[in-house]
Amino acid sequence: MSCPLPSVGAMSLDTSAAAAREQVWTGHAKGSAAYGRLIAALFFAGVATFAQLYSPQAVLPLISADLGVGAAAAALTISASTVGLAIGVIPWSTVADRIGRVRAISWSVTTATVIGMLVPFAPTYEMLLAGRFLEGVLVGGVPAIAVAYLTEEIDRGHAARAAGTFVAGTTVGGLLGRLVSSPVAEATTWRVGVFAVAAMCGLAALCFVRLAPEPRGFVPANRRGANPEGGLVHRLVANLRSGRQLVLYAQAFLLMGGFVALYNFLGFRLARPPFGLAPSLVSLVFLAYLAGTWSSSRAGAEAVRFGRKRVLLASIAVMAIGVAITLSDNIIAVLVGLVVATAGFFGAHSIAAGWTGQLASVGKAQASSLYNLSYYTGSSVIGWLGGVAFDARGWIGVAGTIIALTALAAGLAAFALPAQPRRA
């Protein structure tokens, strides 16, 4: 029994119906299987990205001793990759527009992981830095695209919660990268420690590739011809002309800069009187990242109830309060302050990152890339300025600088960002 061929008219009706279905696509609903797969996939992508990005931080003294370079030169293994990431985010957003979000993220995290497994065995310091820079460029595709992907694929009412889950994955990755590389390195070498993290990232990358559902809210340019949103310059300029987007980029610059300064120089304070902690104990402060894992996801959930602006401002206030608590000379109070500040930062970051994609009328991937460019520029610039403040005034200079940055971020957000109605 043969199957009848559809008529041209029927095919036309089918095509029109399919097009209509695509036009009314509203995103995966919370509780659906595809929603769960997408959230899990982006969580693993966050782990794979930030574990390898920061894994050398815990073994910098070993890198310094092995390669015969100073502490500042050893720290460039971190800076090289973050600079590469900042440079790579905008090109990756263009790649995502051409080939699709899932394919671009898959390429990014897979190629970066392969390079990450080779880089630790670079024979010279210069090759190590070059490899770390390339690794940063390649891994930049994940933060450049992830928020745009989930914004297009998740029901609008739950996009903030989804963005928070992705940021939670980045905090877990950042923590694992530091906690795994250090004990492995102590038992073997720093090279094996960093390699072990890259191998772990390979498993996380595989989880993303296997779990991520195919996009339905975006059609790549190679399937639809010319981009209806215009060229790359037009999409970048459109986002840079938006006052609200600029304020969100300012949140990334100011808050991330303050956060990096907090972690860069609190260790110096804890190693000095009145605390005098051993380096192995100082390294445990990274466990405070777990507060960010909780708060980033929680902030997204609270944004559904109270609106993004309220939760953003509350998170910034929590970060400032936490930094103020670290001025105490009581070690317990300092650690509590660090946990509070970390929770506040990641709560604010998850809201601002997700809001960037939601506010973008065109070029969602470019909007997300500009946010990440601001984020890592703040990390580099203010992270360094925090050292100037520390040399001049000690910890009170660093804490005062961070609190001033949070006040500026909160003022910009309160003035320029739209209020959102509360949800039941």
pLDDT digits (tens, 9 = 90+) for 236-269: 777 777 788 899 999 999 999 899 888 877 877 8
Higher-pLDDT residue of 348, 390: 348
For residue 56, give every residue at least 6 positions away whose Cβ sits within 8 Å of its Cβ, in sequence order, or none.
Answer: 63, 77, 78, 132, 181, 190, 194
Rounded to whole angstroms, the Cα distance separating 52 from 109 reads 10
- Whose tokens are 């990358």? That residue is 205
For residue 43, give every residue at least 6 positions away whose Cβ sits within 8 Å of its Cβ, in sequence order, or none.
Answer: 165, 166, 168, 169, 172
Domain spans in the chain, listed from the N-terminal domain onward: 31-212, 229-424
CATH fold match for the domains 31-212 and 229-424 = yes
Mean pLDDT over 375-402 rounds to 84
- Phi/psi of residue 306, each to 5°? -110, -5
pTM above 0.85, yes or no: no
Q: Which CATH homologous superfamily contains domain 229-424? A: MFS general substrate transporter like domains (1.20.1250.20)
Per-residue pLDDT at 199: 95
Per-residue pLDDT at 94: 83
Identify which of 164, 43, 28, 115 has the alpha carbon closest to the alpha carbon of residue 107.
115
For residue 143, give every residue at least 6 positions away whose Cβ sits within 8 Å of its Cβ, in sequence order, or none.
Answer: 49, 85, 89, 170, 368, 372, 375
Omega before residue 274 within 30° of 0, cis: yes
At residue 408 the predicted structure's pLDDT band, cuts being 50, 70 and 90, is very high
Mean pLDDT over 169-187 rounds to 83
Contact criterion met (CB below 8 Å) for 99 and 220: yes
Q: What is the pLDDT of residues 310-363, one digit of tens each?
A: 999 999 999 999 999 999 999 999 999 999 999 999 999 989 988 887 777 777
In 119-272, where does DSSP find H-type helix?
125-139, 141-153, 159-187, 190-211, 221-224, 232-240, 243-271
Contact criterion met (CB below 8 Å) for 311 and 302: yes
Q: What is the pLDDT of residues 70-87, one digit of tens each?
A: 766 777 787 788 888 888
Per-residue pLDDT at 21: 43
Per-residue pLDDT at 221: 56
CATH architecture of the domain covering 31-212: Up-down Bundle (1.20)
Contact criterion met (CB below 8 Å) for 414 and 317: no
Rounded to whole angstroms, the Cα distance separating 83 from 78 reads 9
Q: What percent of the chain has pLDDT over 90?
A: 32
Q: What is the pLDDT of residues 42-66, one digit of tens each?
A: 889 888 988 998 888 777 778 888 8
